Amino acid sequence: MEALYDIPVIGLLIQFIVYLAVHTPVLAPIVVAAAVPIILGALCGFMNERSGVVNIGIEGMMLTAAFVAWWVSAVVHEVIPASGGPLGISPSLLIGLLAAILAGCAVSAIHAWLSISVRADQIISGTIINIFAFGITGYLNLLVSGQHLATAGKFSSLPLPFLTDLPLIGWLFKSFLAVGPIALTMLVSVIALQILLHRSRWGLRTKAVGEHPKAAETVGIDVIKLRYRNVILGGIFAGLAGAYLTIEVGSSFQTGMTSGIGFIALAALIFGRYTPIGSFGAALLFKASVGVAAVVRFAPPEGTLGDILSGIPIEVYDSLPYVITIIVLAGVVGRSIPPAADGRPYERESQAA
């Protein structure tokens, strides 16, 4: 194998692939931790887009939920300063998580009302949500920053040594168990929604409404009700994504801390062909550079490859998810076909008359 390393260019590529394969057990948990909010955001978009409602307001929903999770958990912690139990779950964190989910659903309900009932332009509706969320959370963060609230801490990982210590595949379980309960919820949600989409009454009705709402209405499906339900339920995943940023992977809120995650989530959904499993894989691809940067920093490869990777500024690695997103969308968006009725407000025949 080492003889192949001497081949110009190709040798470096082979060495890089071998390097990644060897360090996969270390790289995987880092990539998963970075991809969790993107996957959850993509699931929010999935619930919307499959129902025929475009949602570019995922970023604003996540940002709102992130602030609510942090602030509510901090306030409750002042009243109930209880320590965490299993998984680091304390009353303050649990209430903060529930508040974040409610906040995500509330913002989603506004988007549903504007998109479905008012029949406003869905792109404009999502843009308004993003702008308003950025402004109001930044303003509220300034107001509460002077209160010196004690942090409520964050959720911890789930120790299951009988899984993480398994030979060959133990690192795979560790990748998800090392993060926390929200990451585990994400994994279960991806699998469940993928099955439900193709194997349940809800999934078949959702696909029908997203593809041909008029035909769905003729067979007794309430298009308006189903779209409302799916869009609002999608807010649960935006709420989980926001809470993940402030009470699981972190324990504080920063203005604009989502930093485009919502838009990357939407790109992952498109690249994943509007499916949960596809979005899951796309999010891992987009965030792979984060893991590579961390591994190179602590265990750089030897020789020329190590000199090249170590010489790349950290800012380049940080920008790679966005660059990959642009490249992928430029090459795939034309072949990833959205639901036929996506973005088209539905009006019943009786109302149109």
- Residue 2, number of CB atoms within 10 A of its CB: 9
The rounded distance, in Å, linking the Cα atoms of 58 and 48 is 10
Highest mean pLDDT range out of 80-94, 152-166, 180-194?
180-194
**Is 177 inside a domain boundary?**
yes
- Burial label for 184, CB within 10 Å (0-12, 13-18, 19+), is middle
> Mean pLDDT over all residues of the chain?
87
Residue 121: inside a domain: yes
pLDDT digits (tens, 9 = 90+) for 178-234: 788 899 899 999 999 999 999 999 999 999 999 999 999 999 999 999 999 999 999
Q: Is residue 18 part of a domain?
A: no
Number of domains, the chain:
1
Residue 90: pLDDT band by 50, 70, 90 thresholds?
A: confident
Helix (H, G, I), strand (E, B) or coil at 76: helix
In a domain, 124, yes or no: yes
Does 10 map to a domain? no
Whether 306 is covered by a domain: the verdict is: no
Asked, for residue 4, whether it belongs to a domain, the answer is no
More confident residue, 266 or 304: 266
Q: Which of 25, 294, 293 shows the shortest CA–CA distance to 171?
A: 25
Q: How many angstroms separate the CA atoms of 294 and 82, rounded?
A: 34
Place of tokens 């025929």: 52
Structure tokens that stand for 99 in this block: 């508040």
- Residues 91-149: tens digit of each pLDDT: 889 999 999 999 999 999 999 999 999 999 999 999 999 999 999 999 999 988 766 67
Does 236 score more than 90 pLDDT?
A: yes
Q: What is the 3-state secondary structure (H, E, C) of 290-348?
A: HHHHHHHHHCCCCHHHHHHHHHCCHHHHHHHHHHHHHHHHHHHCCCCCCCCCCCCCCCC
Answer whether residue 351 shows pLDDT above 90: no
**In terms of residue numbers, what domain contains 344?**
24-298+312-352
At 353, is the pLDDT very low, low, confident or very high (cuts 50, 70, 90)?
Answer: very low
In a domain, 334, yes or no: yes
Give me 148's structure tokens. 């010196």
CATH number of the domain to which 122 belongs: 1.10.3470
Average pLDDT of the segment spanning 65-71 = 95
Q: Is 5 a residue whose pLDDT tops 70?
A: no
Task: Determine the length of the chain.
Answer: 353
